[in-house]
């Protein structure tokens, strides 16, 4: 699917469908805007008549279709409701674009033209508009169809989408460049979605280590450590979690260095890479196990980010650090009451083998601190408690550094991925103190589980500026929401991190 910006008169637009986003005014009335009124005039008042006859209210995502005439070079007119104009945000545009692409697929339109309203350009910069719409088109058009034999044959996207500015003077080069950046970010996101959606019998630790190896190029080097090398590094957390599986663990270190640019900053991105989480001997219920292939979503985000770094070319040094393993029950699995020794000697009492992500992240953080980065950020589907607190669409953010927190929040606002800060409450540290080891992997309280998990991870950061992003909720969509309208993996986090490394840091 190719998305292009163009400047054109409405009666000169040639496509199978012409789309107009229609908003409501402050009186809650449908407002066609100047472009809509012009189209209505060309259609001899057909738009207004259809709106009245169908009692169409321009609610968000509400669709209305009319047919064109000889005054317009288009077969049909599609109106998509935008809700109140005063409440429109860039994220609204992303969602609307996903609805539009869904409608275009159902109509099997090969060409599509979306008219950008003049008032919209007064509200947002042109680059923001086209970038948000492009996000919605590319993310909304995604479906994991590898195993859907019939649907795969019939999955038809528009070949060409035009974003048309009819009444405004814009910089076509700058707006087109915004689309190309959006396309790059979304391709990385959809790459991540493919990895998470893949069945766990294929997306094994070795498979994902091979995916990481395949990212090697002139700007990215890859180090892959096997089980014996993990033993030599004394990564007791990784070895303990993987002990119950017949599949060996792998530890991956990706290194991106910008060409011909002396990097002033070094950032380490860490991702939780549990390729399947049964809970170990603290076995999950079967209904909670059905989607546990998603437990490597944090690592998949890191892989998605590295997928496009050679094209994006950020001017900072970036390290990607991931431990890949399964958490399975067997006669060799770790048991509640076992004590693991991490890479730098700190010991962990394991009281629940289903709190395994923090165990492999402990070793990952130990490894990352040896690199002396300016910042460390880990992404993990870590706690169900975060979903209890923030729901399924918002990630939790905890950090030991205010500057890093603000930069992540700024990147999140630009990307449209919702992140909310939670506190690292010092008084809660006593809840993860063990009687027989340095720390325990579960809290003594049933409350504040996301915060105590963050405090656990902080134990291994050595005071390096660090942030933890708990993506347990938004990494996976049980119901259709937002602009990623397919159920399953969302790739949440990729666009925020890419925004952070390219525009914020």
- Specify whether the CB–CB gap between 11 and 42 falls below 8 A: yes
DSSP for residue 211? H
Tokens coding 487 = 């159920």
Q: Which fold has domain 2-169?
A: 3.40.220
Hey, where are the domains in the chain?
2-169, 191-504
Q: Which residue reads 């259809």 in tokens?
A: 50
- Residues 57 and 378: their CA atoms lie apart, in Å, by 44
Residues paired with 339 in a beta bridge = 349
Give the pairing type, strands 73-84 and 63-67: antiparallel
Tokens coding 263 = 């990097």
Query: Is the whole model's pTM more than 0.85, yes or no?
Result: yes
Residues paired with 269 in a beta bridge = 320, 377
- Residues 198 and 442: their CA atoms lie apart, in Å, by 30
Q: What is the CA radius of gyration of the chain?
A: 25
Tokens coding 367 = 């490894």
Q: Which helix or strand (DSSP H or E) is residue 254 part of?
A: strand 250-256
Sign of the four-CA dihedral 487, 488, 493, 498:
negative
- Residues 380 and 365: their CA atoms lie apart, in Å, by 13
Q: Which fold has domain 191-504?
A: Aminopeptidase (3.40.630)
- Specify whether the CB–CB gap between 310 and 329 falls below 8 A: no
Instruction: For residue 270, give Cα distances in angstroms to 51, 239, 466.
Output: 51, 18, 11
Tokens coding 286 = 């079967």
> Looking at residue 484, what is its pLDDT?
74
pLDDT tens, residue order, the chain (505 aa): 999 999 988 989 999 999 999 999 999 999 999 999 999 999 999 999 999 999 999 999 999 999 888 888 888 999 999 999 999 999 999 999 999 998 898 888 999 999 999 899 999 999 999 999 999 999 999 999 999 988 877 778 899 999 999 877 888 899 999 999 999 999 999 999 999 999 999 999 999 999 999 999 999 999 999 999 999 999 999 999 999 999 999 999 999 999 877 767 999 999 999 999 999 999 999 999 999 999 999 999 999 999 999 999 999 999 999 999 999 999 999 999 999 999 999 999 999 999 999 999 999 999 999 999 999 999 999 999 999 999 999 999 999 999 999 999 999 999 999 999 999 999 999 999 999 999 999 999 999 999 999 999 999 999 999 999 999 999 999 987 777 778 999 999 999 999 999 999 8
Question: Do 2-169 and 191-504 share a fold?
Answer: no
Neighbours of 228 (CB within 10 A): 9
49 contacts: CB under 8 Å, gap ≥ 6: none
**Residues identified as active-site:** 284, 358
Q: Which residue reads 């993987």 in tokens?
A: 242
> Looking at residue 152, what is its pLDDT?
72
| Rounded (5°) CA angle 247-493-225 | 30
pLDDT, tens digit, 9 for 90 and up, residues 204-243: 999 999 999 999 999 999 999 999 999 999 999 999 999 9
- Residues 19 and 114: their CA atoms lie apart, in Å, by 5
239 contacts: CB under 8 Å, gap ≥ 6: 227, 230, 231, 249, 340
- End-to-end CA distance of the chain: give it in Å, rounded: 31
Residues paired with 397 in a beta bridge = 421, 469
> Looking at residue 262, what is its pLDDT?
74
> Looking at residue 110, what is its pLDDT?
92
398 contacts: CB under 8 Å, gap ≥ 6: 421, 422, 423, 424, 450, 451, 454, 458, 467, 468, 470
Ordered DSSP codes for 405-473:
HHHHHHHHHHHT--EEE----GGGGGGG--SSSSEESS-SSSS-HHHHHHHHHHTTSTT--EEEEE-TT
DSSP for residue 294? G
- Residues 350 and 251: their CA atoms lie apart, in Å, by 21
Give the pairing type, strands 266-277 and 375-380: parallel
Give the pairing type, strands 339-341 and 347-349: antiparallel
Tokens coding 377 = 């950020």
Give me the count of residues in the chain: 505
- Residues 375 and 14: their CA atoms lie apart, in Å, by 50
> Looking at residue 166, what is its pLDDT?
84
Phi, psi dihedral angles at 116 (to 5 degrees): -90, 120
DSSP for residue 248? P
């Amino acid at each position: 699917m190719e998305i292009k910006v163009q400047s054109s008169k409405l009666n000169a637009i040639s496509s199978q469908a012409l789309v107009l986003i229609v908003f409501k005014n402050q009186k809650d009335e449908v407002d066609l805007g100047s472009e809509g009124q012009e189209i209505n005039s060309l259609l001899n008042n057909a738009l207004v008549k259809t709106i009245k006859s169908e009692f169409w209210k321009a609610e968000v995502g509400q669709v209305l279709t009319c047919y064109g005439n000889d005054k317009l070079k288009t077969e049909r007119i599609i109106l998509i409701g935008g809700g109140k104009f005063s409440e429109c945000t860039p994220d609204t545009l992303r969602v609307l674009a996903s609805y539009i692409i869904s409608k275009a697929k159902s109509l099997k339109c090969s060409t599509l033209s979306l008219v950008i309203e003049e008032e919209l350009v007064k509200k947002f910069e042109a680059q923001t508009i086209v970038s948000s719409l492009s996000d919605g088109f590319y993310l909304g058009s995604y479906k994991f169809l590898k195993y859907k034999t019939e649907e795969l044959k019939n999955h038809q996207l528009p070949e060409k989408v035009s974003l048309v500015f009819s009444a405004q003077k814009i910089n076509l080069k700058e707006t087109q460049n915004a689309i190309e950046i959006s396309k790059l970010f979304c391709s990385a996101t959809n790459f991540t979605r493919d990895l998470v959606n893949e069945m766990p019998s294929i997306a094994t630790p070795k498979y994902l280590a091979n995916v990481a190896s395949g990212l090697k190029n002139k700007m990215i080097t890859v180090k892959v450590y096997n089980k014996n090398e993990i033993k030599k590094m004394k990564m007791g957390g990784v070895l303990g979690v993987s002990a119950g599986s017949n599949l060996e663990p792998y530890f991956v270190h990706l290194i991106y260095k910008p060409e011909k640019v002396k990097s002033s900053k070094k950032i380490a991105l860490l991702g939780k890479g549990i390729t399947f989480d049964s809970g170990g001997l603290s076995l999950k219920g079967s209904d909670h196990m059905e989607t546990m292939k998603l437990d490597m979503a944090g690592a998949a985000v890191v892989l998605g980010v590295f997928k496009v770094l050679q094209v994006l070319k950020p001017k900072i040094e970036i390290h990607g650090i991931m431990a890949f393993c399964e958490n399975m029950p067997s006669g060799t699995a770790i048991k509640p009451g076992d004590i693991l020794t991490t890479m730098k000697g700190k010991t962990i009492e394991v009281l629940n083998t289903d709190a395994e992500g923090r165990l492999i992240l402990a070793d990952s953080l130990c490894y990352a601190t040896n690199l002396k980065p300016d910042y460390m950020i880990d992404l993990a589907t870590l706690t169900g408690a975060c979903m209890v607190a923030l729901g399924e669409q918002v990630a939790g953010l905890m950090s030991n550094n205010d500057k890093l927190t603000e930069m992540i929040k700024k990147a999140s606002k630009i990307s449209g991925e919702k992140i909310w800060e939670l506190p690292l409450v010092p008084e809660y540290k006593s809840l993860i103190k063990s009687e027989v080891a340095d720390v325990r992997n579960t809290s003594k309280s049933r409350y504040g589980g996301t915060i105590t998990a963050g405090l656990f991870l902080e134990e291994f950061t050595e005071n390096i500026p660090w942030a933890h992003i708990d993506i347990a909720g938004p990494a996976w969509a049980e119901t259709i929401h937002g602009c990623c309208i397919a159920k399953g993996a969302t790739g949440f986090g990729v666009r925020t991190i890419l925004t952070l490394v390219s525009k914020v840091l």
